[in-house]
Amino acid sequence: MRNQVLASILLCSAMTASAGTASSVYNFRMKTIDGDATTLAPYKGKVLLLVNVASACGYTPQYAALESVYEKYKDKGLVIVGIPANNFANQESGTDAEIKTFCNRKYHVSFPMMSKISVKGADQTPLYDYLTSATTDPKFAGDIKWNFTKFLIARNGQPVARFEPATTPDSPQVIAAIESELGKK
């Protein structure tokens, strides 16, 4: 009987720990644009702006604003993470190496870039399932509508804002949200 109680306590503790790890963006496995396995855990304590990007989209010039915002706020604790996705009109059809070359040559991107993923559909990556699910993120849930959707993530790994593609990274509302989160410790 005592062993059953102990086993139940351990099981409940393990389930609570699992639920806790699934309640932030930090533990989802990804790959960098160079193919290295990673998570967003190295950015714990930072404010994150996660953006699904594409190289051949009408919103692609937002790379310049993303880089500008990153340069302005990176020393204050902001990390922008570009996450290429080819879910919309084949606008990110290149390989990771081609995407990296494009971003570096055309926009001089210095913020972290991840490997290409899927942000919607049957092959949606777990990170984007978390970000768009009404169960895990009811405040900002809903399918990704197009490239350059932006999720602002607080220092604790929780989403605090979502900006649709037409809202540029340097718009007053995005800057205000970034500055507000950076002001919190």
- Tens of pLDDT, residue by residue over 78-112, are 999 999 999 999 999 999 999 999 999 999 999 99
- CATH 3.40.30.10 matches 26-182: yes
Please indicate whether residue 103 is annotated as part of the active site.
no
- Given 30, 56, 57, 154, which residue is catalytic? 57
Q: Stretch 68-86: mean pLDDT, rounded?
A: 98
Q: What pLDDT is attached to residue 22?
A: 53
Q: What pLDDT is attached to residue 12?
A: 37
Strand ordering across the sheet containing 150-153: 78-84, 47-53, 150-153, 159-163
Cα–Cα nearest to 106, from 90, 82, 86: 82
Domain ranges of the chain: 26-182
The tokens describing 147, both together, are: 């490239």
